[in-house]
Amino acid sequence: MLKRVFSLFFVILFFAFFSCKKEDTGDDFPPTVMTMTPSEGAADVDTSTVIQIKFTEQIILKSNHQIKLNNTVINATVDARTLIIKTTLLPGTNYILNIPANTILDVDGNAADEITLNFTTAKSVTPDGTIYEAENATLSGDASLAGSSAGYSGSGYVNTNAGNVTFTVNIPETGYYDLFFRYLVRNPKNNLLYVDGAMMADIYYPATTVWKELKAGLLKLTAGSHTLSFVKSWGYTELDYARIQKNNSGPVAFNIASAPATPNASAQAVKLYNYLKSSFGTKIISGAMAAHSTNINEAIWIHDNAGKWPAFTFFDFIDHTNLNQNWVKYNDPFTLGQEWWNNNGVVGFSWHWRDPLTKSGSFNTSETSFDVTKVTDTSSAEYKAMIVDIDVIAGYLKQFKEANIPVIWRPLHEAEGGWFWWGAKGAEPCKALWRLLFDRLVNHHGLNNLIWVWTTSASDNAANWYPGDEYVDVLGMDIYPGSNQHGSQYISFNKVREFTGGKKMITLSECGSVPDPAVMLEYGDTWSWFMPWNGDYTRSDSHNGAAWWQKFFSYDYVVTRDMMPSLK
Q: How far is CA 147 from CA 68, 159, 205, in A?
A: 22, 9, 20
CB atoms within 10 A of CB 145: 13
The dihedral through the CA atoms of 306, 309, 313, 319 has a sign that is positive
125: pLDDT confidence band, cut at 50, 70 and 90? low
Tally of residues, the chain:
568
How does pLDDT run across 236-261, given as a tens digit for each residue? 999 999 999 999 999 999 999 999 99
pLDDT at 288 over 60: yes
pLDDT at 262 over 70: yes
Average pLDDT, the chain: 91
Asked if 40 contacts 118 with a C-beta cutoff of 8 angstroms, the reply is yes
The mean pLDDT value for 334-343 works out to 97
pLDDT at 318 over 50: yes
What was the pLDDT predicted at 516?
A: 95
Q: How far apart are CA 435 and CA 457, in angstroms?
A: 19
Phi, psi of 417 (to 5 degrees): -65, -25
**How far, rounded to the nearest angstrom, does the alpha carbon of residue 64 sit from its chain's CA centroid?**
50
pLDDT at 25 over 70: no
Which residue type does 173 have?
Answer: E
Q: How far apart are CA 51 and CA 222, in angstroms?
A: 35
Which residue type does 528 have?
Answer: S
Asked if 255 contacts 277 with a C-beta cutoff of 8 angstroms, the reply is no
The mean pLDDT value for 350-365 works out to 94
What was the pLDDT predicted at 19?
A: 46
Q: Is residue 510 annotated as a catalytic residue, yes or no?
A: yes
How does pLDDT run across 456-467, given as a tens digit for each residue? 998 888 999 999
Q: How far apart are CA 15 and CA 279, in angstroms?
A: 106
What was the pLDDT predicted at 26?
A: 59
What was the pLDDT predicted at 35?
A: 92
CB atoms within 10 A of CB 494: 24
The mean pLDDT value for 376-404 works out to 98
**How far, rounded to the nearest angstrom, does the alpha carbon of residue 273 sit from its chain's CA centroid?**
30
What was the pLDDT predicted at 47?
A: 79
* pLDDT > 90 in the chain, percent: 81
255: left (phi over 0), alpha (psi -120 to 50) or beta: beta
Radius of gyration, CA atoms only, the chain:
36
What was the pLDDT predicted at 126?
A: 59
The mean pLDDT value for 177-197 works out to 94
CB atoms within 10 A of CB 110: 14
What was the pLDDT predicted at 5?
A: 42
Asked if 413 contacts 509 with a C-beta cutoff of 8 angstroms, the reply is yes
Which residue out of 135, 414, 498, 522 is catalytically annotated? 414
How does pLDDT run across 60-104, given as a tens digit for each residue? 999 899 999 988 899 999 999 999 999 888 777 889 999 999 999
Query: Of 105, 100, 58, which is closest to residue 81 (Cα–Cα)?
Result: 58
The mean pLDDT value for 428-435 works out to 98
Q: Is residue 133 annotated as a catalytic residue, yes or no?
A: no
Phi, psi of 338 (to 5 degrees): -65, -40
How does pLDDT run across 474-504, given as a tens digit for each residue? 999 999 988 888 989 999 999 999 989 999 9
What was the pLDDT predicted at 180?
A: 95
pLDDT at 13 over 70: no
Asked if 496 contacts 208 with a C-beta cutoff of 8 angstroms, the reply is no
Q: How far apart are CA 185 and CA 189, in angstroms?
A: 8
Asked if 191 contacts 164 with a C-beta cutoff of 8 angstroms, the reply is no
In the chain, the N- to C-terminal Cα span, in Å, equals 143
Q: How far apart are CA 202 and CA 218, in angstroms?
A: 13
Q: What angle, rounded to 10 degrees, do the helices at 381-402 and 332-342 form?
A: 40
Which residue out of 135, 238, 416, 510 is catalytically annotated? 510
